[in-house]
Amino acid sequence: MDRKIRNFALTFPVVIAILVVAVVIYSVVKPSGSVAGQGRMAHEEVAANPDVAVEEMVCEFDQWIGKEVAAAEEELRKLGRVVRILGKDSPATMDYRHDRVNVIHDDNGQIISVTCG
Protein backbone atom coordinates (compact mmCIF):
# COMPACT_ATOMS: atom_id res chain seq x y z
CA MET A 1 0.00 0.00 0.00
CA ASP A 2 2.85 2.40 0.78
CA ARG A 3 4.13 1.94 -2.75
CA LYS A 4 0.80 3.06 -4.28
CA ILE A 5 0.69 6.13 -2.05
CA ARG A 6 4.29 7.02 -2.91
CA ASN A 7 3.61 6.64 -6.65
CA PHE A 8 0.50 8.80 -6.34
CA ALA A 9 2.42 11.40 -4.35
CA LEU A 10 5.03 11.56 -7.13
CA THR A 11 2.58 11.51 -10.05
CA PHE A 12 -0.08 13.94 -8.79
CA PRO A 13 2.13 17.10 -8.75
CA VAL A 14 3.36 16.29 -12.27
CA VAL A 15 -0.20 15.98 -13.58
CA ILE A 16 -1.20 19.25 -11.88
CA ALA A 17 1.86 21.02 -13.32
CA ILE A 18 1.00 19.81 -16.84
CA LEU A 19 -2.58 21.04 -16.46
CA VAL A 20 -1.42 24.44 -15.22
CA VAL A 21 0.99 24.80 -18.15
CA ALA A 22 -1.76 23.81 -20.60
CA VAL A 23 -4.13 26.44 -19.16
CA VAL A 24 -1.45 29.14 -19.30
CA ILE A 25 -0.57 28.29 -22.90
CA TYR A 26 -4.23 28.28 -23.90
CA SER A 27 -4.84 31.67 -22.28
CA VAL A 28 -1.85 33.17 -24.12
CA VAL A 29 -2.55 31.60 -27.54
CA LYS A 30 -6.35 31.97 -27.46
CA PRO A 31 -7.44 34.97 -29.52
CA SER A 32 -8.96 37.71 -27.41
CA GLY A 33 -11.89 39.80 -28.47
CA SER A 34 -12.98 37.40 -31.18
CA VAL A 35 -16.03 38.32 -33.15
CA ALA A 36 -17.07 34.75 -33.79
CA GLY A 37 -19.63 34.03 -36.43
CA GLN A 38 -19.50 37.48 -38.01
CA GLY A 39 -17.23 36.57 -40.91
CA ARG A 40 -14.11 38.35 -42.03
CA MET A 41 -13.66 42.06 -41.51
CA ALA A 42 -12.60 44.58 -44.13
CA HIS A 43 -9.06 46.00 -43.92
CA GLU A 44 -10.34 49.33 -42.66
CA GLU A 45 -12.34 47.68 -39.88
CA VAL A 46 -9.29 45.71 -38.73
CA ALA A 47 -7.12 48.84 -38.72
CA ALA A 48 -9.77 50.74 -36.75
CA ASN A 49 -10.16 47.90 -34.20
CA PRO A 50 -6.70 46.81 -33.01
CA ASP A 51 -8.26 44.45 -30.44
CA VAL A 52 -9.89 42.35 -33.15
CA ALA A 53 -8.97 38.68 -33.19
CA VAL A 54 -6.16 37.89 -35.60
CA GLU A 55 -8.19 35.27 -37.46
CA GLU A 56 -10.59 38.03 -38.52
CA MET A 57 -7.86 39.73 -40.58
CA VAL A 58 -8.34 39.63 -44.32
CA CYS A 59 -5.58 38.38 -46.61
CA GLU A 60 -6.55 39.70 -50.01
CA PHE A 61 -3.79 41.83 -51.48
CA ASP A 62 -3.65 40.76 -55.13
CA GLN A 63 -4.27 44.36 -56.20
CA TRP A 64 -0.64 45.15 -55.22
CA ILE A 65 0.90 42.72 -57.72
CA GLY A 66 2.79 44.67 -60.38
CA LYS A 67 3.09 47.84 -58.28
CA GLU A 68 6.12 49.40 -56.59
CA VAL A 69 7.16 47.99 -53.21
CA ALA A 70 7.51 51.37 -51.44
CA ALA A 71 3.93 52.48 -52.12
CA ALA A 72 2.46 49.14 -51.13
CA GLU A 73 4.49 48.97 -47.91
CA GLU A 74 3.24 52.35 -46.75
CA GLU A 75 -0.40 51.51 -47.49
CA LEU A 76 -0.20 48.10 -45.79
CA ARG A 77 1.28 49.62 -42.63
CA LYS A 78 -1.61 52.12 -42.56
CA LEU A 79 -3.94 49.11 -42.42
CA GLY A 80 -2.25 48.01 -39.19
CA ARG A 81 -0.39 45.06 -40.67
CA VAL A 82 3.18 43.97 -40.04
CA VAL A 83 4.93 44.05 -43.41
CA ARG A 84 7.87 41.86 -44.45
CA ILE A 85 9.55 42.84 -47.71
CA LEU A 86 11.38 39.99 -49.46
CA GLY A 87 13.23 39.66 -52.73
CA LYS A 88 12.16 36.75 -54.91
CA ASP A 89 15.17 34.70 -53.78
CA SER A 90 15.40 36.01 -50.21
CA PRO A 91 15.48 33.54 -47.34
CA ALA A 92 12.70 33.93 -44.78
CA THR A 93 11.82 32.37 -41.47
CA MET A 94 8.95 29.89 -41.55
CA ASP A 95 7.20 31.15 -38.42
CA TYR A 96 3.56 32.03 -38.96
CA ARG A 97 2.16 35.39 -37.88
CA HIS A 98 -1.51 36.10 -38.52
CA ASP A 99 -0.93 39.85 -38.72
CA ARG A 100 2.01 39.76 -41.15
CA VAL A 101 1.89 40.45 -44.88
CA ASN A 102 4.80 39.15 -46.97
CA VAL A 103 5.51 41.29 -50.01
CA ILE A 104 7.77 39.52 -52.53
CA HIS A 105 9.31 41.65 -55.25
CA ASP A 106 11.53 41.14 -58.31
CA ASP A 107 14.92 42.77 -59.00
CA ASN A 108 13.19 45.92 -60.32
CA GLY A 109 11.15 46.51 -57.15
CA GLN A 110 7.89 45.32 -58.70
CA ILE A 111 5.66 43.20 -56.47
CA ILE A 112 5.29 39.66 -57.81
CA SER A 113 3.46 38.05 -54.87
CA VAL A 114 1.71 38.98 -51.62
CA THR A 115 0.97 36.38 -48.95
CA CYS A 116 -0.03 36.42 -45.30
CA GLY A 117 1.66 34.70 -42.42
| Structure confidence at residue 43 (pLDDT) | 54
Full strand arrangement of the beta sheet holding 111-116: 82-87, 100-105, 111-116
At residue 89, the 3 state secondary structure works out as coil
The residue with greater pLDDT, 55 or 68, is 68
pLDDT at 35 over 50: no
The domains of the chain, with CATH numbers, are 62-116 (3.30.10.10)
Mean pLDDT, rounded, of the chain: 74
Q: Which segment of 87-91, 97-101, 107-111, 112-116 scores lowest on mean pLDDT?
A: 97-101
Contact 57, 98 (CB under 8 A): yes
Mean pLDDT comparison of 26-30, 64-68, 97-101, highest-scoring range = 64-68
Pinpoint the alpha helices (H) of the chain: 2-29, 43-48, 69-78
| Structure confidence at residue 39 (pLDDT) | 45
Average pLDDT value for residue range 77-101: 83
Average pLDDT value for residue range 33-49: 50
